Structure 1
Amino acid sequence: MSGGAGFREGRLAIIAGGGRLPHDIAEAARGAGEDPFIVLLSGEADRDWSGFEHATVSVGDIAAVSALLRGKNLKRVVLSGSVKRRPEWRHLRPTLSSVVKLPSIVRTLFSGGDDTVLRMVIDLLEGEGCRIVGAQEIVPNLLATLGPLGRHAPSGEDLRDIAAGVAAADVLGALDIGQGAVAVGGRVVAVEGAEGTDSMLLRVAGLRAEGRISKRRRGVLVKLCKPQQDVRADLPTIGRSTVENAGHAGLAGIAVEAGRSLVLERDALVKAADEAGLFVIGIERAVRKDAT
């Protein structure tokens, strides 16, 4: 577990959306001697949190989050988990210090991409005197490592698809749209939008079933950090379900950015990929089309 000056300054808060990542972080923090407090986002958090001290707040209730941070002496905050819905403007509850920013908050929520919204959330929390901590600081072993994670490795054709996917994901990320792309036969056939990776893969499976994507060529899913992304929040993440959906889409494998992506349920993910004949590989951002 990484540390640093002030690492233990104040209690750790985990603002939890959906998925298993928040729970993994909480368990790891507890194993390192922390007593994390969990701030559950109503309608988003979907795990059993009965073993942790927690409270539920509505998405957009800045005042309630601020009160919890002050009342529990929560000085470090991890943002983790998925948030499927943005709050409506009438459900926003700003603090006195943030009320002057309300017009900007509303504009960002309804016109900004995910990265823009996250930067706004980080700014608001830092304005409450908190330090935002990346999930990788609490659970560094979740980071993707360079090279294959299982038995299988990409072929030459797969490497060309990875290069095409990297180019598309770079553009997509720079536009603050998404983090993932699927390339088949050197051609980008799908990019990730607000629906998320799993839904994109289901779309690819449907396109293949309809004959709009070649059934002879398999293809690759690529996930990268956005070029401008604050790595303290929303790192690209894959889990066992990503492998399963990639298999259903007929893909040959998955490539993620080493050191800047999270791999959940690593053992289960590798086992599922090995059994399905898929590769999962950590890559550097620049991938040559002629790589071997």
Structure 2
Amino acid sequence: MTTTEAHGGLKLGVGDKVAIVAGSGRLPIDLAEKLAAGGYPPFVVMVNGEADESLASYDHQKVELESFADLGPLLKRNGASHAVFVGGISRRPKLSNLRPSLALFRLMPRILANVTKGDDGVLRTLVGMMESRGIKVLGAHEIAPDLLASHGSMTDASPLEADWRDLDAAAEAARAIGMLDIGQGAVAIGGRAIALEGIEGTDGLLERVKAMRGHGRIAGKKRGVLVKCAKPGQELRMDLPAIGPATVIAAHEAGLAGIGVEADRSLVVDAASVFAEANKRGLFVVGLPPGKRP
């Protein structure tokens, strides 16, 4: 088959179509724009209450979160050969709202087998569901590799020697909670982890740190860092760690000196704005190789 290279280096064949299953945030919009610019306008599945309404300018269908079992048939009906799952989801499906269907009946044994394995188990179920229907699942970085964090400092500011103690401590904590499939981020101040990401996500984590600045154990301590890492053994095509301009602003408001992300395994969304916001506030953003300093 003759192939052509879409924006980002992804090889797509004549007649291929990428479906974007879109949650909230800027990333689904960026990917749709890249695909359209490369001659492959996507089919967008907009999760109700999450996806940005601007995505309705593409061929699309809105779905409820509880209709996830019907995604495979929906994508096949609309000619999708590939699928990418991107964007935030602010809630979990309500079991009471699940609509009985043949697709759900067939998928239920797999759901029940993986639901106790946490978020990554659920994501692997979705990947398996797509691939069983001949739909290739892509990571956002396969469409737009320029989104991946690079190695070393990406901003005007760089970590001080004391910041490296915080980066090491936060990275170790982030990897530990990743092993438990709890979250992807941690904050360290004064050489020790003081807050871990939970179900509230990175925004909630940074809000907690901001509120903790007056706490006796960290009161008066300056600087500190946020680190985000992929979970060990994570399905890298889905739910890679990501930061955006709002992350930088929230980190600054929490009194932190910078952000570390795992290089080549984390996304920097709207990178120009991320670096501009960081430079304006004197924060560093640094790409961290797994397990060691650059």
TM-score computed with the length of structure 2 as normaliser:
0.91
Task: Check conservation: 2:169, 2:188, Cα contact below 8 A.
Answer: yes
1:201 equivalent among 200, 203, 206: 206
Task: Check conservation: 2:69, 2:107, Cα contact below 8 A.
Answer: no
Q: Quote the residue 2:58 is aligned against.
A: 52
For structure 2, the 5+ residue unaligned runs are 1-7
1:236 deviation in Å?
0.5
Task: Check conservation: 1:94, 1:102, Cα contact below 8 A.
Answer: no
Is 1:105 matched with 2:121? no
Q: Quote the residue 1:86 is aligned against.
A: 92
Is 1:21 matched with 2:27? yes
| Shift in alpha-carbon separation, 1:50–1:185, aligned structure 2, 3 A | same
| Shift in alpha-carbon separation, 1:101–1:67, aligned structure 2, 3 A | closer
Find the aligned partners of 2:31 and 2:222 in 1 and give their Cα distance: 38
Find the aligned partners of 1:282 and 1:211 in 2 and give their Cα distance: 31
Is 1:41 matched with 2:47? yes
AA aligned to 1:105 is: I
| Shift in alpha-carbon separation, 1:224–1:9, aligned structure 2, 3 A | farther
AA aligned to 2:41 is: D
- Say what the alpha-carbon RMSD is for the aligned residues: 1.9
1:166 equivalent among 167, 171, 196: 171
Q: Quote the residue 2:10 is aligned against.
A: 3
AA aligned to 1:37 is: F
Task: Check conservation: 1:22, 1:80, Cα contact below 8 A.
Answer: yes
Q: Quote the residue 1:276 is aligned against.
A: 281
TM-score computed with the length of structure 1 as normaliser:
0.92
AA aligned to 1:267 is: A
| Shift in alpha-carbon separation, 1:103–1:88, aligned structure 2, 3 A | farther
2:218 equivalent among 213, 220, 233: 213
* SS across alignment from 2:130: helix
Find the aligned partners of 1:92 and 1:108 in 2 and give their Cα distance: 17
Q: Following superposition of structure 1 onto structure 2, how do residues 126-275 of structure 1 map, counting pairs within 5 Å?
A: 126-275=131-280
Moved more, 256-265 or 115-124: 115-124
Q: Quote the residue 2:128 is aligned against.
A: 123
Query: How many percent of aligned residue pairs carry the same amino acid?
Result: 43
AA aligned to 1:142 is: L
Task: Check conservation: 2:69, 2:103, Cα contact below 8 A.
Answer: no
Deviations 1:106-164 (A, max 9, x none): 5644x442212111111122222211011011111111111111100000110111111
| Shift in alpha-carbon separation, 1:11–1:68, aligned structure 2, 3 A | same
Task: Check conservation: 1:63, 1:93, Cα contact below 8 A.
Answer: no
Deviations 1:159-183 (A, max 9, x none): 1111111111111111111000000
1:67 deviation in Å?
3.2
AA aligned to 1:147 is: G
Find the aligned partners of 1:62 and 1:198 in 2 and give their Cα distance: 26
